[in-house]
Amino acid sequence: MNIAISFGLVYLTEYFGHFGLQIILLPIIIAFALGLHYFWQLEEVA
């Protein structure tokens, strides 16, 4: 996964500029936020 992102990042930033970084970072940030929300809910139940 890291190799695919590192090579793909070169092409994304070449074609889309800084928006190419957002194409990769936005799903990662959303998944991280959903994970935090899930574990906060688990803490409240316990």
Instruction: Write the pLDDT tens digit of every residue in 3-46.
Output: 777 788 888 889 998 898 888 899 999 999 999 999 999 998 87
Structural domain of 35: 2-45
Q: Three-state secondary structure along 24-43?
A: HHHHHHHHHHHHHHHHHHHH
Predicted pLDDT at 29: 96
CA 17 – CA 25 distance, rounded (Å): 14
Question: If you search the block for the tokens 């957002």, which residue do you land on?
Answer: 22
Task: Identify whether the C-beta of residue 20 lies closer than 8 Å to the C-beta of residue 10.
Answer: no
Predicted pLDDT at 31: 97
Predicted pLDDT at 39: 96
Q: How many domains does the chain have?
A: 1
- Residue 29, SS3 per DSSP: helix
Task: Identify whether the C-beta of residue 25 lies closer than 8 Å to the C-beta of residue 13.
Answer: no
